[in-house]
Amino acid sequence: MFRAGHFSRAIILTALLAGWQVGAAIAAVPTPAEDSVQMLERADKLKTADHGEFLRLLSQLDQRATELSPGQQWHLRYLDAWQSAFDGRYDLARPQLHDIITRSGDPTLQVRALATLVNILGFGQHYEEAFTQLSTLVDLLPSAKSAEARYQALGETAQFLAAAGQYELASDYAQRILDDPELRDRACQGMAFKLRVLFRAGKVRGTDPEYDRGIDTCIKAKQALYANSLRNDQAKYAIEQGRPKDAILLLQAHYDEFVSYHYRVLMNAVNVTLAQAYLQLGDLVAARKYASEAVTEAVKDKFSDSLGPAYQVLYQVEDKLGNTRAALDFHKQYMEADKGYLNDVSARAIAYQTVKQQLLANKMEVDSLNKQNEILQLQRELDHKDMETSRLYIALLITIVASIAFWLLRIKRSQMRFKRLATRDSLTGIHSRQHFVDETELALRAAAKATRAACLVLVDLDHFKEVNDTHGHVIGDLVLKRAVAACQHHLHRRDIFGRLGGEEFAIYLPDCSAIRARERAERIRQAIAATPLWGETRLVVITASFGVASTDRSGYDLRQMMIDADNGLFQAKRDGRNRVVYSEPADFIAPAAAPATPAGPEPPMEHAVGVPN
């Protein structure tokens, strides 16, 4: 079980290093007389500090494996598995690591192999299995006497918990690296893990002095890769603050170092940051170049946190250049990548909570069985004692068992409640994106069997980012709630309504023709525009753009309907927003005259609580 008192795939940049960086000092070039044992120890220390030298040593060690003892051969097998994982050959690395965990008999190697396995499972999106193995890793930690193995387990745990959104707990594990007197030479890594966790949690900024101290510590420790991962955070923060030139100067000064690492995850993140900076600066050629490199080098068939932003930059570049077709293509890919990444983030959080509940339930079940065994034993032992006393004692134990059963029931109800919450959007109360997709696919299959028409409507609030920037997230949340309420007023009982993310919503209309869907969408559009609210100083007028798709043109495939509806939505945005478009640009319903300004402004919502998107 994950506990702060006892003690992840680096979703951002440093994950592989969390599990695999176990040595920092760069040794001298080996002499010809260096024996196999010395080469093995040096190779382990040079894995990330001098990866080229590590590969050379590993090749020689594989040729001289027979000179090693059985324990040293297991050590060599671990280094081979580590390199397989570093190369992205996860199918090869997983059985190698399982073999080390089950057969080596070395607690230190078992901890290190488990940490690496957790990392691979995270990259493969097997999150429930990864968190289960992470729990085993935490339980094995006390048996690992090696400082390197302890560092590896703590670093991996910190990074993986951060990937599940457990920032406070992740920060605690990173701090344990800094507090361990045997891990003083890992201060760079510990600071990097903690700073990146706090940066993701919004508790530190790229300009804070802690970042400069962390970079200086890593440079002194000759860990330039960690220093540069922190510099990328600083560049991101500079872009957020409207200082793209500072971001470009910082990253370009170290760009050759990024390239030299051959570490694709970090390189993609840096390319995306540069693309965003050049786009903000207005250099469209450079923005396109770095965004294209990030897309080309992205891990195929995976939704990484770099892929979506790279497509977004390409979409914005082509849109500014007036290349409508290319912009539309990139916009589709951006939406798919962004939604896939949001799905992935949600899957991590749900997997963490699921495994946590399972571990707790298993512990309670074990405790219940132990208590039942105690009852049986006491019943046998108390046959020769005072019957009344025996009955009282047995009654007490039965009460304890009943209490445990009660808690098991509560845990089960908590699990059921958690699953129900996963189907609802926390801010608006309507279907979450994944639940909307599941329910709509079921409805489309039923419609296909009965050959009944159905339609899909995509809704996107216009200029929502400006509302957030001008009036703050509290007003932004009120805008989302008002828009949802306006939509619900015009929906039927069998309609399916869900939030896809941010300010985008989707409505599935069963037994509905294209003409009828456009009419209903137009009424919803008018209802949204007629429900303004007061911001900090003035009236906030809400409008929305709509894209409509029907089974008549798109068939009964939800993915195709989403693409066609998104085409209509994109056209509505390009034609001036606040309108409904069905497939072809000429088919949109022009917006009616703007509703009259209300006679008197609504009072501000004093008790609204904003929830981050």
- Mean residue pLDDT of the chain comes to 80
pLDDT the model gives residue 440:
95
| Position 349 confidence tier, pLDDT thresholds 50, 70, 90 | low
Mean pLDDT of 147-159: 83
Mean pLDDT of 545-572: 94
Quick one: 201 exposed, middle or buried, by C-beta within 10 A (0-12, 13-18, 19+)?
Answer: middle
| Position 159 confidence tier, pLDDT thresholds 50, 70, 90 | confident
Question: Residue 546: is its pLDDT beyond 90?
Answer: yes
Mean pLDDT of 304-311: 82
How far apart CA 342 and CA 121 sit, in angstroms, is 18
pTM of the model as a whole: 0.52
Quick one: 362 exposed, middle or buried, by C-beta within 10 A (0-12, 13-18, 19+)?
Answer: exposed
Three-class SS state of 501: strand
Answer whether 82's CB lies under 8 Å from 88's CB. Answer: no
Between 384 and 118, name the one with better pLDDT.
118
Answer whether 397's CB lies under 8 Å from 378's CB. Answer: yes
**Quick one: which H or E segment has residue 539?**
strand 539-540
Answer whether 145's CB lies under 8 Å from 108's CB. Answer: yes
Answer whether 192's CB lies under 8 Å from 218's CB. Answer: yes
Three-class SS state of 507: strand
> In b/e form, how buried is each residue of 412-448, taking b as 16+ CB within 10 angstroms?
eeebeeeeeeeeebebbebbbbbbbbbbbeebbeebe
Q: CATH fold of 242-318, please? A: 1.25.40
Answer whether 14's CB lies under 8 Å from 39's CB. Answer: no
- Which of 93-97, 244-248, 363-367, 595-599 has the weakest average pLDDT? 595-599
Domain coordinates in residue numbering, the chain: 1-222, 242-318, 342-421, 433-587
Please identify which residue in the block is written with the tokens 């489309």. Answer: 444
Question: Which DSSP letter does residue 589 get?
Answer: B
Extract the runs of DSSP E, i.e. beta strands, from 310-426: none
Pairing of strands 454-461, 544-550: antiparallel
Between 254 and 422, name the one with better pLDDT.
254
How far apart CA 185 and CA 44 sit, in angstroms, is 15
Between 430 and 345, name the one with better pLDDT.
430
| Position 460 confidence tier, pLDDT thresholds 50, 70, 90 | very high
CB-based contacts of 51, cutoff 8 Å, min separation 6 = 261, 262
Q: How many CA atoms lie within 13 A of 313 on its CB side?
A: 29
How far apart CA 233 and CA 78 sit, in angstroms, is 32
Question: Which DSSP letter does residue 50 get?
Answer: S
Token output for 438: 């599941």
How far apart CA 71 and CA 54 sit, in angstroms, is 20
pLDDT the model gives residue 261:
74
Extract the runs of DSSP E, i.e. beta strands, from 95-201: none
* Cross-strand bridge partners of residue 534: 539
Extract the runs of DSSP E, i.e. beta strands, from 371-495: 454-461
Three-class SS state of 508: strand
Answer whether 116's CB lies under 8 Å from 128's CB. Answer: no
How far apart CA 496 and CA 465 sit, in angstroms, is 26
Q: How many CA atoms lie within 13 A of 359 on its CB side?
A: 19
Answer whether 188's CB lies under 8 Å from 218's CB. Answer: yes
Answer whether 208's CB lies under 8 Å from 201's CB. Answer: no
| Position 108 confidence tier, pLDDT thresholds 50, 70, 90 | confident
Answer whether 228's CB lies under 8 Å from 254's CB. Answer: yes
Answer whether 503's CB lies under 8 Å from 460's CB. Answer: yes
Token output for 347: 């899957």
Q: What's at 303, amino acid-wise?
A: F
pLDDT tens track for 22-60:
333 333 344 444 678 888 888 887 776 677 888 888 888
Answer whether 141's CB lies under 8 Å from 34's CB. Answer: no
Question: CATH topology of 242-318 equal to that of 433-587?
Answer: no
pLDDT the model gives residue 383:
61
**Quick one: which H or E segment has residue 590?**
none
Question: Residue 300: is its pLDDT beyond 60?
Answer: no
Q: CATH fold of 1-222, please? A: 1.25.40
| Position 328 confidence tier, pLDDT thresholds 50, 70, 90 | confident
CB-CB neighbours of 591 under 10 Å: 18
Q: How many CA atoms lie within 13 A of 152 on its CB side?
A: 30
**What CATH number matches the domain at 433-587, 3.90.1010.10, 3.40.190.290, 3.30.70.270, 1.10.3720.10?**
3.30.70.270
Three-class SS state of 61: helix
Between 293 and 532, name the one with better pLDDT.
293
pLDDT the model gives residue 271:
93
How far apart CA 382 and CA 573 sit, in angstroms, is 81
Pairing of strands 533-534, 504-510: unpaired
**Quick one: which H or E segment has residue 544?**
strand 544-550
Answer whether 22's CB lies under 8 Å from 148's CB. Answer: yes
